[in-house]
């Protein structure tokens, strides 16, 4: 694969994000799809990091990061509403269920407030304009002579960052380290998808699936961590009920973390070279 193909993949993801934001119906789902495409675009940009001038990379990285932060607020509210609805449905204790329902209503109100604030500030129009400008600038970048080898090194770099984040999360299961491990795993998944053109060879496909599952479980754990924090700072019910709910959330998080870290060990075990051989299969013949 050459850098021109990665640039094309980045622009494709930016276009997908734009199309999602332009939809008038199912706005929550549209934001979700826009964010997913934006994450893939940001990973593609990271693959291109060493092939362009540092100032150009930093400018586009900061622009896309800013867009992601703006979209995150309304999306995070939606995730909290859905998570609380699921927990309330499972909860058998009437008083604890009522606490979850109250907190869900708080999250829904907060979501409406964020939507209103973004619409009042014409934030979506500004975001769409910024996405078009990024796509235009990236289209104008030139390809270096050693672009293919630079991409291989970038893939290795992303793998090492993901492995480092995983090892830190295994040593210290703090919310920050677990969240970083999840982000890095997702980055590596997106990078492999881009390089393999979303059709990875069998062995690389196994690595990708394991990484995806690890990232999904850590993502669910992160959502529960945010919920736990909101629950303790909320006035949705008596403190003793909120503490019991937090204990149940902690138990669920422990199970998720064990599954995610067990899956991560299957990805990052052995010598680096062994896994990099699997990953490099995606670049052969392209």
Classify the phi-psi angles of 225: left when phi > 0, otherwise alpha if psi is within -120 to 50, otherwise beta: alpha
DSSP label at residue 51: G
pTM of the model: 0.86
Q: What is the DSSP letter of 142?
A: P
The 10s digit of each residue's pLDDT in 18-52 is: 999 988 778 888 899 999 999 999 999 999 998 88
212 phi/psi in degrees, rounded to 5: -60, -45
Crossing angle for the helix pair 147-171 and 3-22, to the nearest 10 degrees? 60
Whose CA is closest to 267, among 196, 192, 214? 214
Alpha-helical (H) ranges within 48-174 are 54-90, 94-120, 123-139, 147-171
Predicted pLDDT at 199: 63
Of 178, 143, 192, the closest CA to residue 7 belongs to: 143
Q: Find the range with the poorest average confidence among 10-19, 21-30, 253-262.
A: 21-30
Q: Are 262 and 119 in contact (CB under 8 A)?
A: no
DSSP assignment of 224-282, as one string?
A: HHHHHHHHHT--SS-HHHHHHHHHHHHHHHHHHHHHHHHHHHHHH-S-HHHHHHHHHGG
Q: What is d(CA 131, CA 63) in angstroms, rounded to the nearest whole number?
A: 9
What digits encode the pLDDT tens for the residues 45-55? 999 998 889 99
Task: Report whether 184 contacts 161 (CB < 8 A).
Answer: yes
pLDDT at 107 over 50: yes
How large is the average pLDDT for residues 144-166? 84
Percent of the chain surpassing pLDDT 90: 44
H helix or E strand, kind and range, residue 212: helix 202-232
pLDDT (0 to 100) of residue 204: 67
């Amino acid at each position: 694969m050459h850098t021109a193909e990665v640039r094309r993949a980045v622009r494709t993801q930016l276009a997908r994000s734009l199309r999602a934001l332009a939809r008038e119906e199912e706005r929550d789902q549209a934001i979700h799809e826009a964010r997913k495409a934006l994450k893939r675009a940001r990973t593609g940009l990271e693959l291109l990091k060493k092939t362009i001038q540092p100032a150009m990379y930093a400018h586009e990285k900061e622009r896309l990061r800013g867009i992601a932060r703006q979209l995150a607020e309304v999306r995070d509210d939606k995730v909290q509403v859905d998570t609380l609805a699921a927990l309330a449905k499972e909860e058998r204790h009437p008083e604890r269920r009522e606490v979850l329902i109250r907190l869900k209503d708080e999250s829904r109100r907060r979501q409406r407030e964020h939507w209103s604030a973004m619409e009042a500030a014409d934030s979506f129009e500004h975001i769409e304009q910024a996405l078009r400008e990024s796509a235009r600038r990236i289209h104008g970048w030139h390809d270096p002579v050693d672009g293919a080898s630079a991409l291989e090194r970038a893939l290795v770099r992303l793998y090492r960052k993901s492995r480092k984040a995983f090892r830190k999360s295994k040593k210290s299961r703090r919310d920050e380290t677990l969240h970083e491990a999840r982000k890095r795993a997702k980055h590596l998944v997106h990078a492999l998808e881009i390089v393999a053109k979303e059709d990875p060879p069998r062995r690389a496909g196994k690595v990708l699936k394991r990484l995806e599952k690890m990232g999904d479980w850590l993502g669910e754990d992160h959502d529960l961590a945010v919920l736990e924090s909101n629950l303790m700072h909320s006035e949705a019910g008596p403190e003793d009920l909120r503490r019991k709910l937090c204990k149940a959330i902690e138990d669920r998080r422990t199970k998720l973390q064990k599954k995610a870290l067990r899956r991560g060990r299957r990805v990052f075990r052995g010598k680096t070279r062994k896994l990099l051989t699997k990953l490099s299969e995606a670049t052969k013949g392209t």
